[in-house]
Structure 1
Amino acid sequence: METQIFQPNQVEAAAALLKAGQLVAFPTETVYGLGADATNETAVKKVYAAKGRPSDNPLIVTVTGQAMVEEYAQPLSATAQKLMQAFWPGSLTLILNLQPGALSKAVTGGLRTAAFRNPKNKTTLNLIQAAGVPIVGPSANTSGKPSPTLAQHVYHDLNGKIAGIVDDGPAAVGVESTILDLTADVPTILRPGAVTEEQLAAVIGTVRSNHHKVGATEVPKAPGMKYKHYAPDAQVYIVDQVADWPAALQWAAQQTTPVGVMAVDSVLADQTLPANAEVFSLGTDIASASHLLFDGLRHFDLESPVKNILTQGFPPVGLGAAYMNRLNKSAGQMHFSK
């Protein structure tokens, strides 16, 4: 299969492929997603095959807004409507109860719920509008690898496996959406993202976070809860404190191969970097670090192969919660120890 590259003004052609049951990657403000007609079970199953994704890992349903959600979900609560008004289009995914038989088990992982997202990207909203159906939207990468923030990342992983990619430049946010479960007794964050717990609580009151580890036989309600995610080929180590960097870089200097170093500019400027350090800047703060995290991990996979990557940690509050969630998964919970 030849994977075509479409520009934003070519969404009609890309939508025609979706309507024909093919897979097309699309841009969002968070990361690139892999689209298929969410109402076409055969097309949805192709997503799992292209990504190498476990079939019990449910897919996010990407929509143009509340009206499209109402075609498939149970009647929306006042809470759901408040959240949609406050954060849609944007980086918030809502898990809702479905109407019976509204979507295939291939979308839901066999659950009676589904996750819905309305992305803040005009090109993709135009694409869904042209297709006339919601589209599933897991990250457009090989399962387990860092999420793609550029069309080139998608092409690297999925060239020849999907029909097309809509290229709308770099993703603005760089980490996936916050997933909020509205089917729980208390609205529960299953995956932190750019919309923070504090922002959600300001709109709907009490919100809790779920750190439950999904068991081997349990079906997760949202992506990222069960399987390995975001991992480059190299082993990632988290450097938790600025004070730990001298020891971490001393360890790096003792390695016989190049070592990746990912940190903000102020940390890099204050350290003595060994000759074998391959540096990738995470910018100036947690916002830029979140935006650049996957790009950096992809950089070391594609352009500067290393066996180990030292990466700066941040306090897990606000946007730092999303950053550390992704970084801990990419590192397999491995932290640098003096």
Structure 2
Amino acid sequence: METTIYNLNQITKAAQALKDGELVAFPTETVYGLGADATNEDAVKKVYQAKGRPSDNPLIVHVDSVEMVEKYAREIPEKARQLMKKFWPGSLTIILNIKPGSLSKTVTGGLSTVAFRFPNSQPTLELIKEAGVPIVGPSANTSGKPSPTTAQHVYHDLNGKIKGILDDGPTRVGVESTVLDMSTDHPVILRPGAVTKADIESVIGSIDLNHHHVGKSETPKAPGMKYKHYAPNAQVYIVDEDSDWNTVMEWISKQSFTVGVMADENILHQITLPKNADSFSLGKNIVDASARLFDGLRKYDDENQVQAIVTQAYPSHGLGLAYMNRLNKSAGGQHFKDLGFK
């Protein structure tokens, strides 16, 4: 099966494919999602198969209205409604308790909660409205690989495995949505994103950041908490803020293979790249870097001669918290300093 690329005039066709139980990747402001009718268990099972995704990794359910959430949620706490009013449509996913049996365990990972998101993408909102059902939407990539920020990334990973891809060009944010657990008494961010802790606290007051490590036998409440994510084939090393980039270049020059260098324009202008280095610009600031991180990792994943990637760190606050969360996972926690260099 050749995967179809749907343009924005073919949303009705993409929606019909979803109604028929097929998989259709869709754009959001963060990354591309892999869509299936959330009420069709057989279709949802295909998502796990196409991605090679563990079955205990729950799926985010995408909606086009608060009313659609009300069909499935046991209740929507007042604080959750305040956040929906402020940040929906947008890059905030909210975990709520659901009505028993309202969605299959294939969607929930066997939990009694579901993560809901109202994406800030007009084509996808039209797709959901046309399909008439909420759609599940994990990132549309092979499980464990960098998330897709273009339709071409999706095609690279999933051509022949899914019916189609609704193409709306590159995504704007580049890192997945913030996931906030509101199924308990005190809200907790389980995955940082573009909607920051400070943003949320400005609306509902104090919340927590998750520091719990999910065990092997434990089902995670949100994607990205348990399994290895965002990893290219080459080893990624984080270059910390206080590192000397000239020392990094010296190390690269001594290697027998090509090394990818991912840094902002300020750093790239200051350093001299060895012959065996290839550069990728992260732009001018943390907003640019977050939007481009996965694109850079994917670029080097496609270049077999690149056997290591050194990537610039940013301060872990605001959007930088989300950026560093993804970068740490892609690097498996490995820092350039771990190689014995300052």
TM-score range, shorter chain: over 0.9
Structure 2 unaligned regions, length at least 5: none
Displaced runs of 4 or more, over 3 A:
none
Deviates more, 1:234-243 or 1:152-161: 234-243
Equivalent residue, structure 2, for 1:288: 288
Equivalent residue, structure 1, for 2:93: 93
Taking the aligned partners of 1:173 and 1:111, their CA distance within structure 2 comes to 29
Taking the aligned partners of 2:223 and 2:156, their CA distance within structure 1 comes to 22
Q: Please tell me the residue identity of whatever aligns with 1:120.
A: N
Which aligned pairs between 1:257-276 and structure 2 lie closer than 5 A? 257-276=257-276
Equivalent residue, structure 2, for 1:323: 323
Equivalent residue, structure 2, for 1:112: 112
Equivalent residue, structure 1, for 2:123: 123
- Residue-by-residue CA offset, 1:146-165 (whole Å, 9 max, x unaligned): 00000000000000000000
Which aligned pairs between 1:3-152 and structure 2 lie closer than 5 A? 3-152=3-152
Q: Please tell me the residue identity of whatever aligns with 1:155.
A: Y
Taking the aligned partners of 2:99 and 2:249, their CA distance within structure 1 comes to 55
- Residue-by-residue CA offset, 1:118-175 (whole Å, 9 max, x unaligned): 0000000000000000000000000000000000000000000000000000001000
Taking the aligned partners of 2:84 and 2:280, their CA distance within structure 1 comes to 36
Q: Would the aligned equivalents of 1:242 and 1:267 in 2 still touch at CA under 8 Å?
A: no
Q: CA deviation at 1:305?
A: 4.2
Alignment of 1:173 with 2:173, yes or no, is yes
Q: Would the aligned equivalents of 1:94 and 1:181 in 2 still touch at CA under 8 Å?
A: yes
Q: CA deviation at 1:274?
A: 1.1
Taking the aligned partners of 2:203 and 2:9, their CA distance within structure 1 comes to 36
Q: Would the aligned equivalents of 2:91 and 2:120 in 1 still touch at CA under 8 Å?
A: yes
Q: CA deviation at 1:249?
A: 1.5
Taking the aligned partners of 1:271 and 1:55, their CA distance within structure 2 comes to 45
Equivalent residue, structure 1, for 2:157: 157
Taking the aligned partners of 2:303 and 2:228, their CA distance within structure 1 comes to 23
Q: Would the aligned equivalents of 2:262 and 2:310 in 1 still touch at CA under 8 Å?
A: yes
Q: CA deviation at 1:275?
A: 1.4
Q: CA deviation at 1:244?
A: 2.6
Taking the aligned partners of 1:91 and 1:180, their CA distance within structure 2 comes to 11
Q: Please tell me the residue identity of whatever aligns with 1:150.
A: T
Q: CA deviation at 1:303?
A: 4.8
The TM-score with structure 1 as length reference comes to 0.99
Taking the aligned partners of 1:228 and 1:136, their CA distance within structure 2 comes to 21
Taking the aligned partners of 1:217 and 1:248, their CA distance within structure 2 comes to 40
Q: CA deviation at 1:242?
A: 4.9
Q: Would the aligned equivalents of 2:257 and 2:305 in 1 still touch at CA under 8 Å?
A: no
Taking the aligned partners of 1:57 and 1:30, their CA distance within structure 2 comes to 19
Equivalent residue, structure 2, for 1:251: 251
Taking the aligned partners of 2:304 and 2:167, their CA distance within structure 1 comes to 24
Q: Please tell me the residue identity of whatever aligns with 2:336.
A: F
How many residue pairs end up in the alignment? 338
- Residue-by-residue CA offset, 1:302-330 (whole Å, 9 max, x unaligned): 25740000000011100000000000000
Taking the aligned partners of 2:40 and 2:214, their CA distance within structure 1 comes to 28
Q: RMSD value over aligned CA atoms?
A: 0.9
Alignment of 1:211 with 2:215, yes or no, is no
Q: CA deviation at 1:25?
A: 0.2
Find the residue that maps to 1:203 and give its secondary structure.
helix
Find the residue that maps to 1:310 and give its secondary structure.
strand
Deviates more, 1:155-164 or 1:180-189: 180-189
